[in-house]
Amino acid sequence: MPGEAPDLFAGDAPPAAEPAGEPTALVVPRDFLELAELAIRHSDAERFALLYSLLWDGRRDPGLLRNPAEARMVRLHAMARAVRRDAHKMHAFVRFREIDTPDGERSVAWFEPEHHIVEAEAGFFQRRFAALRWSILTPRRCAHWDGEAVTFTASARRADAPAADAAEDLWRTYFASIFNPARLKPDAMRAEMPKKYWKNLPEARIIPALMQGAEARMRAMLGQEPRAPARRQKAGRDPAA
Amino acid sequence: MELRAKLALLADAAKYDASCASSGSEKRDSTQGGLGSTEGMGICHAYAPDGRCISLLKLLLTNACIFDCAYCINRATSNIRRARFTVDEVVRLTLAFYRRNYIEGLFLSSGIIRSADYTMEQLIRVARTLREQHGFLGYIHLKTIPDAAPELLAEAGRWADRLSINVELPQVASLRELAPEKDLPGIHDAMGELSTHIAEAREARQTARRAAPPRFAPAGQSTQMIIGADNSTDGQILGTSDGLYKQFKLRRVYYSAYSPIPEASAALPPQPPPLLREHRLYQADWLLRFYDFTTEEILSGGEDGMLDLEADPKLAWALKHRDDFPLDLNKAPREALLRVPGLGARNVNRILEARRHSRVKLADLARLRVPLRKVAPFLVAPDHRPPPGQIDATGLRQKLLNPSAFAAAQPAQLSLAL
């Protein structure tokens, strides 16, 4: 959309100045801006060079930045996809542990993102957990919410986060019970919950035991003789709570 | 019974319900108070070793039941231990898990105790307590008891994001035999009622000027059918789904392969779950909803009302409609490209976009991660022309079948995998 102000690539982008000196407005598609904003969080050190080369060539060939099949655009899309996936996994796999502090209860999590996403994704946790006081510690950046504003501090270590939480035992009980041993599909599980995340997921430590026990549980169910039906429960009888 | 033992029993009893979706509700967050948010996209917080997403705390309020459905572990004559949560216990578990970011919310179902109305009231009390006393803004899915009074259904929709009533079996005859207390016309009446409420609330939301109109299940309603417990064909199952989508605007029909259970009924001896058949039905369901296929077209890919288990339903259809191929990658309209085996809806959109800039080659598709081996026989491109006669060769089917493809593909990713 040439000529529209919101499409101007301005401000915080790497400078794509004319070598001759006279600055000219650089017009890029809105979708490209969104894509660049994601890709720039990627941990690949070449992301800036890639964006620069696309912007440079995009001046002479405006269609380039809209073409999803061009080789560099494919790479940019892949970077954006990786960042989006990392963000989604952060929303999913952050696990808070509650601790008492002099200022009251605080929820603290340790998470290891692959890309530079902590600042961009803090808003998700702020919107969801505005009523709590929380900190998300990572090896890249840390985010803290005190009920008023999100603040960021430098990287932390795993040992800075609490080591356990009282609810985790119940959570593991749930994880074990909702699993259906007759449908064992560990590859599908690992595709969506790669092993690199397991060390920070309290439920992951029981996965090996669940997998080992599954086959025997399945065999027992397939081999069982039907027992005589129980006497029918009467309407009105509640089981003991 | 202590809380942990109840949790183990009543989560175990809830796992045969396939749905764990937490997507497609209204947007809301806690910046103005309360706890939680829903931002449209569902989140899977964990995956069990069965490969299934864990998004919600899925529980039965009680596994006691006055119904005697042969396929169900909780049926009245099953020899299992019975337990019942108090309303407060479910509320505390939900909040404790939610605050720690384990879950998106609660999926609460129940065996039928005393009466339909009494059971529905108990489910509603949990949802109402979460919303009113604790300002809970996370996702709530409530199982709906079809025979419950209309005012109870209306209240359930005020608190829940999604409601569901399971039809379980696609034929009246099977229901009569295996789930004698279930009443299909009654289920349809209740679905119709929910569908009317949902549509009214949606319209009110669109036309509302100031105050937010009363909400009703903004994530709609869904249902589930058990696969392999009766003799229904895939055609009967898909026909039932198609009817439910059209008649009641369901968001989803879930297919749950009948799974061996402890304490199985003598009427249904345990057998390994038909997982591949379930997978094909999900693929077919996707073709029905997003690829403009009719049930008749989908079934024409198989034999005798059953889907082809070896080939995915789009490939099976294409192999029986070879005259329609090969298509010109740069000329074929959208609806034709959607029928090419190996091309998903998202990639079709990308191809259409790329076509505006230059001629699209097969090599471009490789970069879009399209499975070339699968699409090649069905497409003509500037850098590719299938060998003459290939499309009609009898060996084509065998060449295209890849037995390892199933292990990697998952129903949740079908939009891309097809």
Which of B72, B73, B76, B85 lies closest to B5 in space, CA to CA? Answer: B85
**B291: in domain:** no
Contact (CB<8Å) B99/A132? yes
On chain A, the residues whose CB falls within 8 A of the CB of B46 are 92-93, 175, 193, 201, 203
Confidence of residue B28 (pLDDT cuts 50, 70, 90): very high
Min CA distance, B82 vs chain A (Å)?
6
Q: Do residue B83 and residue B190 come from a single domain? A: yes
| B270: nearest CB among A185, A221, A241 | A221
B240 shares its domain with B342: no
Contacts of B96 in chain A (CB under 8 A): 167, 170
- Lowest average pLDDT, out of A36-45, A86-95, A126-135, B259-268, goes to B259-268
Q: Are residues B259 and B335 in the same domain?
A: no
**Average pLDDT taken over every residue of chain B:** 92
Q: What are phi and psi of A151, to 5 degrees?
A: -120, 155
Which of A88, A232, A238 has the CB atom closest to B68's CB atom?
A: A232
The answer to which of A223-227, B4-8, B106-110, B259-263 has the lowest mean pLDDT is A223-227
Is residue B414 pLDDT above 50, yes or no? no
- Mean pLDDT in residue range B152-180: 95
Residue B9 placed within a domain: yes
pLDDT at A6: 43
pLDDT digits (tens, 9 = 90+) for B184-214: 999 999 999 999 999 999 998 888 776 777 8
Confidence of residue B416 (pLDDT cuts 50, 70, 90): very low
Number of CB pairs, chain A paired with chain B, less than 8 A apart: 240
Q: What is the pLDDT of residues B39-83, one digit of tens each?
A: 988 999 999 999 999 999 999 999 999 999 999 999 999 999 999
Q: Are residues B303 and B245 in the same domain?
A: no
Chain A residues touching B343 at Cβ < 8 A: none
pLDDT of residue B409: 40
B92 lies within 8 A of chain A by CB: no
State the average pLDDT over residues A68-81.
Answer: 93
Query: Shortest CB distance from A239 goes to which of B31, B83, B102?
Result: B83
Report the candidate in A224, A167, A94, A215 with the shortest Cα–Cα distance to residue B50.
A215
Indicate whether A4 pLDDT > 50.
no
Q: Give the list of residues 6+ apart from residue B244 with CB closer than 8 angstroms, or none.
A: B167, B191, B223, B250, B253
Range of the domain at B190: 3-273
Condensed to tens digits (0 to 9), the pLDDT of residues A183-222 reads 999 999 999 999 999 999 999 999 999 999 998 898 888 8
What does the block give as tokens for B100? 């720690």
List of chain B residues whose C-beta atoms are within 8 Å of the C-beta of residue A148? none
Tokens representing B25 are 């509700």
Distance from CA of A108 to the nearest CA of B (A): 9
The rounded distance, in Å, linking the Cα atoms of B415 and B347 is 10
Asked whether residue B231 falls in the same domain as residue B325, the answer is no
What pLDDT does residue B368 have?
87
Indicate yes or no: CB of B114 within 8 angstroms of CB of A236: yes
| Res A22: pLDDT | 57
* Cβ–Cβ gap B31/A127 under 8 Å: yes
More confident residue, B234 or B416: B234
End-to-end CA distance of chain A: give it in Å, rounded: 65
What's the CA gap between A138 and B170, in Å, rounded? Answer: 50
| Helix (H/G/I), strand (E/B), else coil: A184 | coil
Q: Encode pLDDT of A159-170 as tens digits.
A: 999 999 999 999
Q: Which residue has the tokens 């449209």?
A: B40
pLDDT at A8: 42
Contact between chains at B30 and A129 (C-beta distance less than 8 A): yes
End-to-end Cα separation, chain B, in angstroms:
47
Mean pLDDT of B134-159: 96
Residue B264 covered by a domain: yes
In a domain, B135, yes or no: yes
B372 and B265 together in one domain: no
Q: For residue B172, which of B182, B160, B163, B164 has the smallest C-alpha distance?
A: B182
Asked if B359 has any chain A CB less than 8 Å from its own CB, the reply is no
Residue among B51, B79, B115 whose CB faces A227 most closely: B79
Beta carbons of B49 and A211 less than 8 Å apart: yes
pLDDT at position B293, please?
96
Residue B407 has pLDDT above 90, yes or no: no
Token representation of residue B208: 């509302």
Percent of chain A with pLDDT over 70: 86
B288 is a domain residue: no
The closest of B409, B54, B18, B41 to A204, measured between CA atoms, is: B54
pLDDT of residue B404: 47
Across B185-316, where does the E strand assignment appear?
A: 221-227, 252-257
Same domain, B106 and B252: yes
Closest to B182 in 3D by CA, of B163, B203, B168: B168
Q: Is the peptide bond before B326 cis (omega within 30 degrees of 0)?
A: yes
How many domains is chain B built from?
2
pLDDT greater than 80 at residue B266: yes
Nearest to A92 among B43, B49, B79 (CB): B43
B402: confidence class by pLDDT, cuts 50, 70, 90: low
pLDDT class for A68, splitting at 50, 70, 90? confident
At A103, the pLDDT band (50, 70, 90 cuts) reads: confident
Closest residue of chain A to B274, computed from CA coordinates: A183
Q: Indicate the residue of B34, B63, B270 with minimum beta-carbon distance to A224.
A: B270
Which backbone phi and psi does A58 adopt, to 5 degrees? -65, -20
* Res A2: pLDDT: 39
Alpha carbon of B117: minimum distance to chain A alpha carbons (Å) = 12
Considering the domain architecture, whether residues B195 and B331 belong to the same structural domain is answered as no
| Closest chain B residue to A173, measured at CA | B8
How many secondary structure helices (H) and strands (E) does chain B include?
18, 10
Token pair 């050190």 is at which residue?
Answer: A45
Cβ-defined contact of A130 to B77 (cutoff 8 Å): no
Q: Do A98 and B4 touch (CB under 8 A)?
A: no
Contact B357 A63 (CB under 8 A): yes
Half-sphere exposure (CA, 13 Å, Cβ side) for B253? 31
Q: Are residues B337 and B260 part of one domain? A: no
Question: Looking at residue A53, what is its pLDDT?
Answer: 96
Pairing of strands B46-47, B53-54: antiparallel
**Do B39 and B184 lie in a common domain?**
yes
Given a cut of 70, whether residue A233 has pLDDT beyond it is no
Both B236 and B168 in one domain: the answer is yes
Own/partner long-range contacts of A201-204 (Cβ < 8 Å, ≥24 apart)? A201/A93, A201/A95, A201/B46, A202/A95, A202/A164, A202/A165, A202/A168, A202/A171, A202/A172, A203/A168, A203/A171, A203/A172, A203/A175, A203/B46
CB within 8 Å: B37 and A185:
no
Q: For residue B405, is pLDDT > 70?
A: no
Contact B52 A98 (CB under 8 A): no
Segment 288-317 of chain B within 8 Å of chain A by CB: none
Å between B323 CA and nearest CA of chain A: 29
CB B141 within 8 A of CB B14: no
Report if residue B285 sits inside a domain.
Answer: no
Residues A111, A200 contacting (CB under 8 angstroms): yes
Say what the pLDDT of residue A226 is: 73
| Residue B153 counted as domain residue | yes
Question: Is position B42 within any domain?
Answer: yes
CA B413/CA B86 separation, integer angstroms: 37
> What is the four-CA torsion angle of A122, A128, A134, A137, rounded to 10 degrees?
-40
Based on the fold, state whether residues B141 and B199 are members of the same structural domain.
yes
Q: What angle do CA A174, A84, A131 make, to 5 degrees?
A: 55
CB contact under 8 A, B48 and A175: yes
The closest of B37, B144, B39 to B98, measured between CA atoms, is B37
Query: Nearest-CA residue of chain B relative to A147?
Result: B31
Torsion angle (degrees, nearest 10) of CA A198, A201, A205, A209: -90
B360 reaches A (C-beta below 8 A): yes
Q: Which of B143-147, B236-240, B365-369 has the lowest mean pLDDT?
A: B365-369
Q: B186 or B418, which is more confident?
A: B186
Res. A16: pLDDT tops 70: no
Q: Between A118-128 and A71-93, two packed helices, what is the crossing angle to 10 degrees? A: 40
CA B201 – CA A196 distance, rounded (Å) = 44
Contacts of A96 in chain B (CB under 8 A): 99-101
- In the block, which residue shows the tokens 């990639």? B347
Q: Rounded to whole angstroms, how far apart are CA atoms A205 and A26?
A: 52
| Cβ atoms of A175 and A203 closer than 8 Å | yes
**Residues B7 and A170 sit within 8 Å (Cβ to Cβ):** yes
Pairing of strands A97-101, B379-380: unpaired
Name the residue among A170, A185, A239 with its Cβ closest to that of B7: A170
- Which CATH number belongs to the domain containing residue B190 in this structure? 3.20.20.70
Least confident segment among A72-76, B197-201, B271-275: B271-275
